[in-house]
Amino acid sequence: MSIEQFLSEQKDTILTKWFDLVLDTYPPDTAVFLKKQDNPFANPVGHTIREGMGHVLDELVRETPSGQIGVFLDNIIRIRAVQDLTPERALSFIFSLKEVVREALRTASHQPLPYDELLAFESRVDRLALLSFDIFVQCREKLYDIKANELRKMTFRLLQRVNDMDEDQEKKPDPAG
């Protein structure tokens, strides 16, 4: 059996455990909500993360990936980039996939997989982590740009109001004179 076959057979179990590890990065109340609420309209964050993780796993399993893995990662990482998470916590979910797969391999009743296949899979996960970091940095840069632009607009509006007040004061006749 190849690693791809194993991952395909164990996909639901791996995805569930992987999603649970992602939820561990959230406060307990949030994690319970994200896990229990299946409705994509009531829980768009949980739905997007879980769906994206499923697509990422599919891409890692495919012999010939579609090249869409960046899109799926982007959907997950955008959410995590706007949350108050450190880069380490925001992206740790990528590395936790290795833990989940290793645990599934330990507990599965089958012949051991070739070590080089496992290493190749883990190398794909490492490349995925690098891509994730690039996406995360781009998202954070965009956030900081938005915040800076908003601050500039607020400052400009404030200065306009001060200037308008000064002009109003100059237009009023002096009551003493």
Confidence of residue 174 (pLDDT cuts 50, 70, 90): low
pLDDT tens per residue, range 78-134: 999 998 889 999 999 999 999 999 999 888 877 777 889 889 999 999 999 999 999
Note the pLDDT of residue 62.
80
Give the pLDDT band (50/70/90) at residue 137. Answer: very high
User: How many CB atoms within 10 Å of residue 135?
Assistant: 20
| C-alpha separations of 16 from 19, 54, 110, 162 in Å | 5, 10, 21, 57
Average pLDDT over residues 161-165: 84
Instruction: Determine how many CB atoms are found less than 10 A away from the CB of residue 17.
Output: 17
Average pLDDT over residues 55-79: 87
Alpha-carbon span 90 to 68, nearest angstrom: 21
Domain boundaries, the chain: 3-142
Tell me the percentage of the chain whose pLDDT exceeds 70.
95
What pLDDT does 153 receive? Answer: 92
